[in-house]
Amino acid sequence: MPKIKVAIVGFGGMGRRWAKIANDCHESSLNLIIDTDEKKLKEVKEYWKCNFDSDLKALSSPEIDAVVVATPNIFLAPITKLALQNGKHVLCEKPAGINTKEVKENIRLAKNNHLVYTVGFNHRFHPALARAKRLVSCGAIGKIHFIRGVYGHGGRIGYENEWRNKPELAGGGELLDQGVHLIDLAFWFLKNSFEKIHGTLVRNYWSQNLEDNAFITLQSRSGATVSLHASSTQWQKKFLWEIYGEHGFITTEGLGGNYGIETLRYSNRHTDTGNLDKEKILYFPPQNGFEDPDISLFSLWGNKFIASIKYEKEYGPSGSDALNALSVIEKIYQEQEEPKRSLR
């Protein structure tokens, strides 16, 4: 099979990471970068050695098979729609859109045109979380009783002026930014919908218009309760995912890089004595050969997106997964708006 020719729309931090991955994968090649900032032309030509354009019309090129959309949130769904309309497979950065309506439309387009529509929920492919998922799936800790998740960073100097703190570009605050990853993981581990959804959104520091902390509580049809906290005022970066079941617990911490080495802890509980087995601890340091310690992006690209195109089968995470997460986010945002409406 010839290499899959890739275009990247949006050449910021994530766009550059996807560019490296597209080039490093032996089954794909980077052919085009699209960005409104024409000052990036020199870097693209000299370093990336591929075509550059500032016009989205370039997506119609027959020299492009697949498109990565890595723009601010407000543009994700419209550009995905345009790519799908031009017959291109799409990997869209999370959250895939700012509402369920636009994501539903893209799911329909992809299905009708037999195109792959993958969403960048890469946290599923961090080695510690992937191992935790396998343990849960094989019944290692029995029925899940509750899950706790924390995902936080502290921004940086000038963070308040970046697009993530501008409602007209972000479409939402921390709930939509990092919260969407946590919600996706909750769906992934529990495999069912949530009957009860509640959120508390707080503006502590970065923005007067968007929340910088989101506290989320979900209850699944199976009776499991999920407590999540996404924060951009967690001054020291932190990721924590704890799963407690009837027969023991599994916890993972770290995401590599500044979030610390990925670590998994696991222990079984004896129901007759209440005693725990000796805790098993597994470490997942960065693999040699990759400058970027985030191996999850490489796994999502090769094992899911490229494989989906190659074998004409949807391996996910897909637009439907984004729809699930956004349905929860929409409900929380609506819940926060209701008290305001009653006071008007």
More confident residue, 172 or 294: 172
Task: State the pLDDT at residue 343.
Answer: 34
Task: State the pLDDT at residue 192.
Answer: 82
Average pLDDT, the chain: 94
Task: State the pLDDT at residue 274.
Answer: 78
Supply 263's token pair. Answer: 């670590």
Q: Is the pLDDT score of 283 beyond 60? A: yes
Q: Where in the chain is the domain with CATH 3.30.360.10?
A: 127-291
Task: State the pLDDT at residue 1.
Answer: 75
Q: What is the mean pLDDT of residues 283-295?
A: 70
The CATH topology of domain 4-122+296-318 is Rossmann fold (3.40.50)
Tell me phi and psi for residue 243, to 5 degrees: -125, 125
| pLDDT tens for each residue of 139-165 | 999 999 999 999 999 999 999 999 999
Task: State the pLDDT at residue 162.
Answer: 95
In the block, residue with structure tokens 């924590």: 240
Q: How confident is the model at residue 341 (pLDDT cuts 50, 70, 90)?
A: very low
| pLDDT tens for each residue of 92-125 | 999 999 999 999 999 999 999 999 999 999 999 9
Range in 145-159, 187-201, 281-295 the model is least confident about: 281-295
Q: How confident is the model at residue 275 (pLDDT cuts 50, 70, 90)?
A: confident
Contact 250, 243 (CB under 8 A): yes
Helices (H), 25-114: 41-43, 73-85, 100-112
Q: Is the pLDDT score of 129 beyond 90? A: yes
Contact 184, 133 (CB under 8 A): no
Task: State the pLDDT at residue 336.
Answer: 83
Q: Where in the chain is the domain with CATH 3.40.50.720?
A: 4-122+296-318
Dihedral (Cα; 187, 193, 197, 200), 10-degree rounding: 10
Dihedral (Cα; 58, 64, 67, 70), 10-degree rounding: -50
What is the CATH number that goes with domain 127-291? 3.30.360.10
Task: State the pLDDT at residue 286.
Answer: 80
Task: State the pLDDT at residue 260.
Answer: 92
